[in-house]
Amino acid sequence: MSDRFARFSECLLVGMFTALFSLPVVSAFAAFTAACTMLREERPAGPGTYVRCLAEVLRSGPLVLIVPPLVLLVLVADAVAVGSGVPGAPVLATITVLAGAAAVPFGLRAAARWRPGRRWPQVARAAATDLLHGVRESLLLLLATVIAIVVAVAVPITALLLPGLLAFGAVAVDLAGRDRGPGMVT
């Protein structure tokens, strides 16, 4: 019982570090990837360990800082266009919702799949394969994200803790998917 409680407290601590390092939105995905790495490798949850892990992620290349904010920017621009009533708004709204619904589990899966020394294009291909072959797990990650957002809106202070729990869920889905094999990057 105490081992499970210790694991839960590590998730909360890693979640706080992730929330703090995500304040500049550009680094949010890198911070989440660092959280996944710490939880997967069972590194001790401390600020020094987290910063070293984040540095490993940031050294993996500029894609970790460029692509996620760019995807978010495109989705927000599409939502603004839909809200302003552009011609074809219903079709654009459907495409935007579907793209967002795919981008969330894809991003979570990619963050959980990254390992030190891995190239992001290789990780992205594996995450895309996982997304297609593990639809149930992807829907579970999407639902977990929606619930986390609802909880954070209802109780804003939990926004500091929820990234760790989402990272734990993403890592759990990744580890469970190893039994299936498709898209596996070792």
47: in domain: yes
pTM (predicted TM-score): 0.90
184: in domain: no
Confidence of residue 74 (pLDDT cuts 50, 70, 90): very high
pLDDT of res. 112 = 97
138: in domain: yes
* Separation of alpha carbons 112 and 89, rounded Å: 34
Alpha carbon of 106 to those of 29, 96, 110, 134: distances in Å?
A: 12, 15, 6, 11
186: in domain: no
* Separation of alpha carbons 92 and 37, rounded Å: 36
82: in domain: yes
pLDDT of res. 95 = 97
* Separation of alpha carbons 28 and 73, rounded Å: 14
183: in domain: no
Summarised one tens digit per residue, pLDDT across range 88-117 is 999 999 999 999 999 999 999 999 999 999
Q: How many domains does the chain have?
A: 1
pLDDT of res. 132 = 94
What percent of the chain is helix, strand and coil (3-state, nearest 5)? 80, 0, 20
11: in domain: yes
- 12's tokens: 């909360």
135: in domain: yes
Confidence of residue 185 (pLDDT cuts 50, 70, 90): very low
Question: Which residue segment(s) compose the domain that 75 sits in?
Answer: 2-177
